[in-house]
Structure 1
Amino acid sequence: MKLIVLSAFYFPDEIGGAEISTRILCENLVSKGHEVTVITMGTTPDKSQGEMISGVKVLRLNSTYRSRYDAQNEKGNISKVIWHINCDTGNYVPDSFDLIVQKIQPDWAIVSQTSGFGALIIPRLKNLGTKVVVFNRDYYYLNLDVSNSSKRMFDLRYYVGLLLSLRRRLQLNKSNLAVANSVYLRDKLQDACLIKQKVHVLYTDNPTWKVMKRRFASKEKYELLFCSKLETTKGTEILLRLIKTLPSNFRFTILGNGMDYEEIDHALRVRNNGRILGWVSSEECESYFEKADIFLQLSVWGEPFSRTILEAFTKGVFVCATSVGGNVESLDGDRGFLFDHMKEEILIRFLSEIKDHISFCNEAIRRSYEYLETRRGSSGVGGLLKLIS
């Protein structure tokens, strides 16, 4: 089949798990003999004629999209509001987009996210008569309100979010197929009446990293790894409490960037118990997982699915995660330690007494390896091809 994949960002412009999952999906589709063209808002206008990356043809159509994203991420909430409005109403998708799609004549278009980019693209694809499947990896874009409910009436982002989410829901329902990457997200989308048609669950493909078998051991020092955007919704307040509270035999490695970078960096310097490295490449990220003993997934909102948990499983890293969203699904069956994000003292106590939990940690790691094996038969590519063939 001829397939086009629409993604706001694509390798090497990867800002999170959604982009990594999209790349793996594309490469797996190519490996099965399908012709895949990615259309993305890139950073290099000279690549608009296309480049080949691991068998995937990549067209980058706009050189300002990534810089605008980075700018709003650094400046705060007002910039985020402006960014989301621009995403949904902006003219950053050039007129040549329609001509490109008409020239390719794809059998299906896969929209990788229901962001503002997706809201603009879906109606244009439908006008061209192209069949559309939306691969939902998030519902944040359909409900931008992640603020404290008591502050909603004073939060401009809340009201803008309501308006934009209504528009995005309307566009999403124009798709031919809707897919979610977890049971939690499927239920979230359908129970909230965000999507009228049936939502199919297709799990994110396993990481391409080599599986590393190891056991959890009693040690003098433990390496903690946190890998995420550095903002409140990702659990940075919990992270700061851990940095300031845990004994000195715990050292932190923090990968990511965002509004809370400086505060976290300062806390680490005060206690001299870790380092913050900003964004790193996938290859570098893999090496840090291999060195870690414990991975922290601290999101405080219902994240549909955390790819980083799968990456931790792949490298035999014990996982501590908040009991929200898809984390519960990922760690179900004691594949790690779940805790209420409103009670981080439970996590602090567990980590402080980690040497009393060696057997539990090893059993969790064993089960995480088993989980990776069971997922191989229900990954995104195989299920997706069954739906669209």
Structure 2
Amino acid sequence: MKILLIHTFYSPDMVGGAEVVVQSLAEGLMERGIDVAILTTTDKPGLHQDEVNGVRVWRAGLRNLYWHKYNQRPGMVQRRLWHLLDIYNPLMAQMVKKVVLFEKPTVASVHNLPGFSIATWSALKDAGVPIVQVLHDHYLLCPAGTMYRNDKNCISQCSSCMIMRTPHKAMSQSISGVVGVSNYILNRHLEAGYFSGVSNRQVIYNTRTAQELCLTGKIKESDGNRPLRFGFIGAINSVKGIELLLHTYIKNPFHDTELLVAGVGNSEYSDKLKLSATGHAVRFLGRVKPADFYPLVDVVVVPSLWNEPLGTVIMEAMIFGKAVIASNTGGTPEMVVDGENGLLFNPDNPSGLLDAMARLYASPDLRERLAEGADRCRALFMDRAHFLDEHISIYMDAEHYG
């Protein structure tokens, strides 16, 4: 078996949780003795090869208007043209064909496709390579990947998304296998008519390992002599609910507490948030490693506004034994059981987040009980052996049945 993993970004070009998971998958497969190669995008023209932790990495210069990793947001006209070109980009298909010709994979594990487009599927099918599509987001349903528009989650595809994603829906029927990182994201696609012709469907939850999180021993306990700390870690952008969290915390100050915000994003947007928090007990830490962040906080807040398929931060917080407050959107209810290992709130209810924060602020016993519940769940999200077994199983099925 030889696997070609295709994903928009790869180390060191890390953007979010999906990049972490794909790297973990690649290195885990390699440790199992499986030949693995990565195909990803870069801002450098042409096709380049390097190596990351023993894994071969092909980097294809993105042939579109701009490389979409940059934090500076292009203008609306550029963005719309970019997405039109990304419906089906034959120039990127040529890159895929070159790598396939060299690597000769027996299965392609396709992850996030922005930049590559579904022309990747065509290139692989033309080469006779079975495809397993892994769903990390809503890209196949929505060019933005979030199904979130005008400050609301989309109940169904809007007319423009439906038109721009007609080829995706049609071509999805001939994929060899499909994996959802949560029941939510897999069912969302199936309900929209995607992958209806695909019988090989699975849900495989993402995992993190102690090594990846730099957990070398007992988890460091929070310092009980300092103020109670709420924490946010992740990409600094609007759909992550960071404005909701800041507004809730600033307008309803909890005495003797702090809010720590870790992560990076668009510099203009980040500067606006920092200005709004001036004079309050809010600290922006920038990019921080999970092992350095979680011991600093007592409660982790994940206020996502969009239907996040499977929040990596929730997984990490549980592994570190932290009480979690999270919005009840997307795949989050598959991870957080309200009152057992965290508290859920409806982001459409203005007082929902405040009520949850107030409960944990007022009750050390509740914080401790939820933290213990989170600690009991950590094994589910650290079972890398099961995670690898499940992926290898669906690869074998795809390889055998095509």
Place the TM-score, normalised by the shorter chain, in its bin.
Answer: 0.7 to 0.9
Give the TM-score of the pair, scaled to structure 1: 0.87
1:10 aligns with 2:10: yes
Q: Who is 1:260 aligned against?
A: 269
Q: Is the Cα–Cα contact under 8 Å of residues 216 and 361 in structure 1 kept in the other structure? A: no
Structure 1 residue 381: Cα displacement:
1.5
Structure 2: distance between partners of 1:180 and 1:117:
20
Q: Is the Cα–Cα contact under 8 Å of residues 323 and 370 in structure 2 kept in the other structure? A: yes
Say if 1:105 and 1:64 are closer, same or farther in 2 by CA, change over 3 A: closer
SS at structure 1 position matched to 2:68:
helix
Structure 1 residue 240: Cα displacement:
3.0
Aligned counterparts, 1:115-154, within 5 A: 115=114, 117-144=116-143, 145-148=147-150
SS at structure 2 position matched to 1:257:
coil
Q: Is the Cα–Cα contact under 8 Å of residues 65 and 78 in structure 2 kept in the other structure? A: no
Say if 1:300 and 1:150 are closer, same or farther in 2 by CA, change over 3 A: closer
Structure 1 residue 50: Cα displacement:
1.9
Structure 2: distance between partners of 1:178 and 1:77:
33
Say if 1:261 and 1:360 are closer, same or farther in 2 by CA, change over 3 A: same
Unaligned runs of 5+ in 2: 397-402
1:336 aligns with 2:310: no
Q: Who is 2:399 aligned against?
A: none
1:275 aligns with 2:277: no
Cα root mean square deviation, aligned: 3.0
Q: Is the Cα–Cα contact under 8 Å of residues 216 and 318 in structure 1 kept in the other structure? A: no
AA aligned to 1:193 is G
Q: Who is 2:68 aligned against?
A: 69
AA aligned to 1:341 is P
SS at structure 1 position matched to 2:394:
helix
Q: Who is 1:315 aligned against?
A: 320
Structure 1 residue 55: Cα displacement:
1.9
Aligned counterparts, 1:118-197, within 5 A: 118-144=117-143, 145-148=147-150, 159-196=159-196, 197=198
Structure 1 residue 328: Cα displacement:
0.8
Q: Who is 1:292 aligned against?
A: 297
Say if 1:229 and 1:141 are closer, same or farther in 2 by CA, change over 3 A: farther
SS at structure 2 position matched to 1:9:
coil
Q: Is the Cα–Cα contact under 8 Å of residues 230 and 301 in structure 2 kept in the other structure? A: yes
- Whose helix fraction is larger, Structure 1's or Structure 2's? 1
Q: Who is 2:84 aligned against?
A: 85
SS at structure 2 position matched to 1:187:
helix
Structure 1 residue 9: Cα displacement:
0.7
Say if 1:220 and 1:287 are closer, same or farther in 2 by CA, change over 3 A: closer
Deviates more, 1:223-232 or 1:291-300: 223-232
Q: Percent identity?
A: 18
Q: Is the Cα–Cα contact under 8 Å of residues 89 and 117 in structure 2 kept in the other structure? A: no
> For 1:13-34, what per-residue CA distance to the aligned partner results, in whole angstroms no more than 9, with x for missing partners?
1111111111111011001000
AA aligned to 2:23 is R
Say if 1:285 and 1:160 are closer, same or farther in 2 by CA, change over 3 A: farther
1:382 aligned residue (374, 389, 394): 389
AA aligned to 2:128 is G
Q: Who is 2:31 aligned against?
A: 31
Structure 1 residue 228: Cα displacement:
2.9
Structure 1: distance between partners of 2:213 and 2:221:
18
Structure 2: distance between partners of 1:345 and 1:179:
36
Structure 1 residue 194: Cα displacement:
2.1
AA aligned to 1:380 is F
Structure 2: distance between partners of 1:77 and 1:123:
29
Structure 1 residue 158: Cα displacement:
5.2
Structure 1 residue 350: Cα displacement:
3.3
Q: Is the Cα–Cα contact under 8 Å of residues 64 and 85 in structure 2 kept in the other structure? A: no
Say if 1:76 and 1:348 are closer, same or farther in 2 by CA, change over 3 A: farther
Structure 1: distance between partners of 2:153 and 2:364:
42
1:363 aligns with 2:369: yes
Structure 1: distance between partners of 2:390 and 2:153:
42
Q: Who is 2:237 aligned against?
A: 231
Q: Is the Cα–Cα contact under 8 Å of residues 81 and 160 in structure 1 kept in the other structure? A: no
Say if 1:355 and 1:228 are closer, same or farther in 2 by CA, change over 3 A: closer
Q: Who is 2:203 aligned against?
A: 201
Structure 1 residue 180: Cα displacement:
0.5
> For 1:348-387, what per-residue CA distance to the aligned partner results, in whole angstroms no more than 9, with x for missing partners?
2332353432222222222222222134177432101112
1:242 aligns with 2:238: no
> For 1:188-237, what per-residue CA distance to the aligned partner results, in whole angstroms no more than 9, with x for missing partners?
22222222124211111224214453667866523332223333322133
Unaligned runs of 5+ in 1: none
Say if 1:150 and 1:206 are closer, same or farther in 2 by CA, change over 3 A: closer
Structure 2: distance between partners of 1:146 and 1:76:
19
SS at structure 1 position matched to 2:324:
strand
Structure 1 residue 111: Cα displacement:
0.4
Q: Who is 2:400 aligned against?
A: none
> For 1:140-196, what per-residue CA distance to the aligned partner results, in whole angstroms no more than 9, with x for missing partners?
4413441149999xxxx9554232222222233231101101112222222222221
Structure 2: distance between partners of 1:131 and 1:347:
45
Structure 1: distance between partners of 2:65 and 2:318:
31
SS at structure 2 position matched to 1:11:
coil
SS at structure 2 position matched to 1:88:
coil
Give the TM-score of the pair, scaled to structure 2: 0.84
Query: How many positions carry a matched residue from both structures?
Result: 380
Q: Who is 1:325 aligned against?
A: 330
Say if 1:165 and 1:73 are closer, same or farther in 2 by CA, change over 3 A: farther
